[in-house]
Amino acid sequence: MKAYLSRRYRICASHRLNVAAFSEEQNRLVFGKCNHPYGHGHNYTVEVTVSGQVDETTGMVCNLADLDGCVQTLLLDRFDHANLNRDPGFSRAVPTTENFCTLIFELLSGAFDRAALERVRVEETGNNFFELERKA
């Protein structure tokens, strides 16, 4: 039997959606107000879901302290109060929330000893969220 553990984290970060190969007009048409020259920020909610067998001794799928420490080191220390456009993970990609979700999934994949990363969900606003799931 497999159990799931999901935990939420907050990341405050800014970005500007812009493609260097596009003209200013084309960037404005594609990205609208998200192309503002000074960027804009979001209070992202990142939800991480891991799965695994419930340990007979501890009764846990994953130790919360271990999960929190991993997320702190790999995500929060790197992205909280940062400009995503300046992060090396976006050197060749527009820092859309879709790409942010993908980068987070890649950073956390394989980071846990006993648990497996199942899903990453990034909420950009109350209306927009993006999810990436492990392939079956």
Q: Which positions are catalytic?
A: 34, 81, 124
Produce one character per residue of 106-135: b if its CB has 16 or more CB atoms within 10 Å, e if not: ebbeebbeebebbbbbbbbeeeeebebeee
Q: Which residues are 46's β-sheet partners?
A: 9, 122
In the numeric block, which tokens belong to residue 82?
A: 């940062």
SS3 content of the chain, % helix, strand, coil (to 5): 35, 30, 35
How far is the C-alpha of 61 from the C-alpha of 112, rounded, in Å?
11
Q: Which residues pair with 117 in a beta bridge?
A: 50
